[in-house]
Amino acid sequence: MHHRSRWLLTFLFLVPALAWAAESEAPTRTCASLKRLALPNTSITLAEPVTAGTFVPPDLKPDQKVPPLYKATPAFCRVVATLKPTSDSDIQIEIWMPASGWNGRFRGVGNGGFAGYISYAGLTAAVTQGYAGASTDTGHASQGAEWALGHPEKVLTTDIARSMR
């Protein structure tokens, strides 16, 4: 199967599977249990419940205060994963699902141009409004496009991520 199709299928199955597992009434479907999901080309590195108002963005510098936006965030389930649809990929993704009051909808959170970062403010807005949301770094952690030189498959997966917004 073409790398582009494999990545798209993985992403399209990952989000609904996690949302279903979080909303399921089965006692084994806790937020933390999502870390044990086995999905193709996917490594779930973190699955934890986050108490209302306690999220601190991992990119916050030590001398910065936590912005008020995060202090108003409701409780949610935070899932962090790495997608590797090709041997040269390293796509970081976060999926947040409201702990209660899910509106049954999903919001994909984007970032500008070729920017490579998780949009924590966008994810916060999503769960605050009752959405399950996901954000990706589009496979790189830089502002420019140097990451694409000599790696045409990374441009393809970035194009897919942008087209999903």
Tens digit of each residue's pLDDT, the chain (165 residues): 444 444 444 455 555 555 555 454 444 479 999 999 999 999 999 999 999 999 999 988 889 999 999 999 999 999 999 998 888 788 899 999 999 999 999 999 887 767 788 999 999 999 999 999 999 888 777 666 666 667 666 666 555 545 544
The answer to whether 83 and 91 are in contact (CB under 8 A) is: yes
Among 77, 85, 97, which Cα is nearest to 42's? Answer: 85
Q: Is residue 61 assigned to a domain?
A: no
The answer to whether 103 and 74 are in contact (CB under 8 A) is: no
pLDDT at 129: 97
Stated pTM of the model: 0.75
Number of independent structural domains in the chain? 1
The residues facing 49 across adjacent strands are 77
Domain that holds residue 82: 3-55+67-163
Q: Is residue 110 assigned to a domain?
A: yes
How far apart CA 127 and CA 145 sit, in angstroms, is 30
Q: Is residue 78 assigned to a domain?
A: yes
pLDDT at 106: 95
Q: Is residue 62 assigned to a domain?
A: no
